[in-house]
Structure 1
């Protein structure tokens, strides 16, 4: 299946809009894992296996692996997800942004080396920096639009043609850039009003929404702003609040509980709103 097809299937199969972010920080690992050669893989594998019943997707952040010289662990982890939890798509959070032959190499890295189902990209350099990713049939390309960090407003709110830049990105993504049908957008949970603006522009296009959990994004406001007519349309990401829900040897069990609670909180809101809309 393509990325979008697998995402739709995962929404239904797991009854979840939760995306579990995988940002391993060895200094925060339980004592029993610290200083072990395979610690990063072992930690992430345990998290994945514990939270898979509650997740519509996983999102490993490449910097957390590369900075620890753990790219091989990232390859191994994505292979594990595909083999043990087939049908749950993997988003490589890389935020790449370059043109021409360099973008082609980043696309190969994401889809051929790591075998990710989708990758996050930066649109600042325009369509020719995104096009090489679209050449990989069935793979998802998730474009930064309205990011969850406070500094995103420095550029994303600049007026261009009578509307903020992030809205221009959304319009381009929905109209001109989405020839493959596999484009999505990143819109932060810390800005629910902007989520609603983007949803109005892009229709049913999936949105990756970081910022719930440690960054303080509100679940009810996020779901209300971003849900589609059928109550889906979102990958609501939580990373640290799930990964480090516990710091003891039962860390995976604690992560499972946190993921279940987050999934249930999201479902409570979207079910209630769905009934209210009828």
Structure 2
């Protein structure tokens, strides 16, 4: 999916919502446990319920690989079931030396056909550039919303005056254009998007933390939106676990629609 195609889908749906499929067997409604593949049965109904209101799906790979071979099978079926019009994100946070990253890229892009993957850039160019395959996106961790993110990301470089995460963004922008490179920026620190946009004015940002984690969608749009929207805002638990009863899919649809409706207003306001 190209940057223009993603923006076209955002305009069509009036939404920049990404639904996170952090599917936990312990949180799946009880009536699905009798299914042959409860994980896929749950994901299938979530996708059916939310596809009208989102432009992207983001399975958190840890929730699937923790289940061994059956988890990988559920993930593959989920990926194949996603509408092709939706941008797929393998939230794997991989990052290693070049030959290992090449194998990760082959796994998620050639064998599983995801559109994108999240990457940890700590090992530098070796850990990022192998994922830059034709037609694929790399989504680099930049300024995350977890408490530990402050341990390193906001250290000031005395030579450049930049925060470490800003220098990480600038270095990554030397390796790929905004047609292939996104950054992860947490929603719970919306004002930090100003610092991100100073060094990444035209990249799309994947913004987790809206919903159950308390992120502010209004602030994210105010500080982060570009003329091409430039945002994919993720909500996981706030949508998929809004109900644990037999009505879980209907309630998930309602929550996704609420976010889409708010996003529609923000798009009208800022674009």
Q: Normalising by the residue count of structure 1, what TM-score does the alignment of the two structures yield?
A: 0.92
CA distance in 2, matches of 1:118, 1:5: 15
Secondary structure, counterpart of 1:48 in structure 2: helix
Task: Look up the match of 1:95.
Answer: 93
Task: Look up the match of 1:49.
Answer: 48
CA distance in 1, matches of 2:5, 2:250: 26
Cα distance change of structure 1 residues 35 and 68 upon mapping to structure 2, 3 Å threshold: farther
CA distance in 1, matches of 2:255, 2:110: 32
1:195 aligns with 2:199: no
Shift of 1:247: 1.2
1:234-273 map, 5 Å: 234-273=231-270
Do 2:59 and 2:89's aligned partners in 1 also have CA atoms closer than 8 Å? Answer: yes
Task: Look up the match of 1:111.
Answer: 109
Secondary structure, counterpart of 2:206 in structure 1: strand
Shift of 1:268: 2.4
Task: Look up the match of 1:216.
Answer: 214
Do 1:19 and 1:56's aligned partners in 2 also have CA atoms closer than 8 Å? Answer: yes
Task: Look up the match of 1:21.
Answer: 20
Shift of 1:273: 4.3
Task: Look up the match of 1:72.
Answer: 73
CA distance in 1, matches of 2:137, 2:16: 17
Task: Look up the match of 1:31.
Answer: 30
Which structure 2 residue ranges, 5 or more long, are not aligned? none
Secondary structure, counterpart of 1:145 in structure 2: strand
1:54-65 map, 5 Å: 54-65=53-64
CA distance in 1, matches of 2:67, 2:88: 20
Secondary structure, counterpart of 2:188 in structure 1: coil
Task: Look up the match of 2:138.
Answer: 141
Runs in 1 of length 4+ with deviation above 3 angstroms?
none
CA distance in 2, matches of 1:242, 1:179: 32
Secondary structure, counterpart of 2:251 in structure 1: helix
Cα distance change of structure 1 residues 47 and 272 upon mapping to structure 2, 3 Å threshold: same
Q: Normalising by the residue count of structure 2, what TM-score does the alignment of the two structures yield?
A: 0.94
Cα deviations across residues 193-240 of structure 1 (Å, max 9, x unaligned)? Answer: 21121123212210000010111111111111110035x110000000
Q: CA RMSD in A?
A: 1.5
Shift of 1:68: 1.9
Cα deviations across residues 121-142 of structure 1 (Å, max 9, x unaligned)? Answer: 00100012111101x1010000
Shift of 1:35: 4.7
Shift of 1:269: 3.2
Which structure 1 residue ranges, 5 or more long, are not aligned? none
Do 1:224 and 1:270's aligned partners in 2 also have CA atoms closer than 8 Å? Answer: no
Cα deviations across residues 31-67 of structure 1 (Å, max 9, x unaligned)? Answer: 1112533100010111011101111111000000111
Do 2:145 and 2:187's aligned partners in 1 also have CA atoms closer than 8 Å? Answer: yes
Secondary structure, counterpart of 2:212 in structure 1: coil
CA distance in 2, matches of 1:170, 1:35: 46
